[in-house]
Amino acid sequence: MNGSTDNDHSAKPKKWPAIAIGLMVVMIDMISIHGGPSWSADTTGTTSTVTFKSGQVTAKHGTIVEIGGVAYSMDAEATIKDDEERPRTLNDVKVGAEVKFHLKRDKIDQLILLLPK
């Protein structure tokens, strides 16, 4: 025997750091592929999983939407819905409309058109 005992773990490679790093990489990858957490059109602000800003559309120029005097580009894959969860298009968003929106990399990736009640 070379003096090693069953309790001598120094000769065995420690795998837990590699496993932990691997899990973190997979989680980050999943978030970036799936766009992060899901969202809902809960306009009451009580249980939404994503923080939305709100404002009034003050101008539109192609895929640029100005909300409260600030111009935002629409993400190429932006989701637009109304507050009743119906799909909408950018053509439905008119100057003067009240909206809630989420920014991702300084572009609108989610927009909720608040319908007049």
Q: Where are the domains of the chain?
A: 53-114
Helices (H), the chain: 16-34
For 28, half-sphere exposure in the C-beta direction (CA atoms, 13 angstrom radius) is 6
User: Tens of pLDDT along 66-87?
Assistant: 999 999 999 999 999 999 999 9
User: Tens of pLDDT along 95-106?
Assistant: 999 999 999 999
pLDDT of residue 24: 62
Q: Which CATH architecture has domain 53-114?
A: Beta Barrel (2.40)
DSSP 56: E
Between residues 104 and 7, the one the model is more confident about: 104
Q: How far is CA 43 from CA 3, 57, 97, 108, in A?
A: 69, 17, 15, 17
Instruction: Give whichever of 13-17, 28-32, 50-54 has the largest mean pLDDT.
Output: 50-54
